[in-house]
Amino acid sequence: MPKTSVEKYGSMSGLTEQDVENTRRFLHDTSIHALDTWTEERTETHYIGVSARPYRMVVDRQSSQEAVVVTGEFATGITPFAVARARVVRDMVAPDASLLLQPNAGAGQRDNMNFSLSERATLRRGLALPLAHRLDRSLLEMGDPEDRTFYGPSQGGAIALEYAVTLDNVAVATLEAPNVIERSRLEMARAFLGCGDLLKEVIKENYGEDMTNAPVISLKGLARFIAAGSRSDNLAIIDVLCSGTAQQRMVSILENGGSVVHAYAQDDAVSPLDKNSKIASTMVNYEKYRSVQLEGDHSISNNFALGGALARTAHKLLQTVV
């Protein structure tokens, strides 16, 4: 029999059977239409810079003192799948916290972050400042919460690390962050080719046997993703993913009083096992650091409950008195 999510990930990630059951119940009980309605009501336009440049975030305002921030995957806009994942993560970390979801340019949503020409040039230098400024602005709009937990899957892991380094006492969980190694754009593209072999299996881990509300994986969907990936905003972000800065960012976050959960798959070239293992071996003396090696490939970034468990662990580590 195939392994369950808990058998594959539980002992290292903190994932429990109850987490999986709660996630599936939410996904079964929440239709795509309900997710779309919830999202439409919470998609806000914020403004950045002297020119008041507009951009979009999904914001669910609850607590003014606590926030869970989910940073977006490559070429993923505001979709029911992305929103469902963010809601699962927030509810597992702190259900009363506010939620901030940062979307990238997606299919039909080219201007979610709406970078200017000069901002795209900054991103192409491997600097995440344009995204950091937007996260700063949106958190300020939310009341500048003191307790902040970041969860970043794939590209989101790189962005979460790049941004959180500017903060004190912040919790960060990354899953399959690409920026653990410096490489060229071509090398990164090769790493991403074929990285989703287990995607259907991972999506089924989310939904179980009832796939009614699950996203349909199709050639049309793949074409839409490729088209979104060619958007100028997304192409610029690739250089942040190639920067190789993850380890030094983790160290800075930890030395600023934060916590880091650093999770990665065994069989993946996007976030290579050998490099992640070397990073983990040098970080073991930090009390608020955990490395989590997981069975699977890059597709595991799409397991909702796993992401929630990792973020919850980072949140708990932040509360640890050293």
Residue pair 214/205 in contact by the 8 Å Cβ criterion? no
- Residue 232, pLDDT score: 85
Instruction: Chunk the chain into consecutive blocks of 10 residues (it has 322) and report each block's average pLDDT, rounded to whole numbers.
Output: 84 93 96 96 96 97 92 91 97 97 86 94 96 96 95 96 95 97 92 81 91 72 63 90 96 97 95 97 96 94 97 94 54
Token digits of residue 298: 């890059």
- Residue 217, pLDDT score: 66
Token digits of residue 109: 């949503």
Into how many domains does the chain fold? 1
Q: What is this structure's pTM? A: 0.95
- Residue 3, pLDDT score: 83
CATH number at residue 65: 3.40.50.1820
- Residue 220, pLDDT score: 60
Domain span including residue 269? 5-318
Sign of CA dihedral 127, 129, 135, 139: positive
Burial 277-316 (b: 16+ CB within 10 A, else e): eebbeebeebebbbbbebebbbbbbbbbbbbbbbbbbbbb
DSSP H or E stretch at residue 110: none
DSSP state of 7: I
Which residues have CB under 8 Å from 134's CB, separation 6+? 46, 48, 55, 57, 102, 113
Which residues have CB under 8 Å from 119's CB, separation 6+? 129, 130, 236
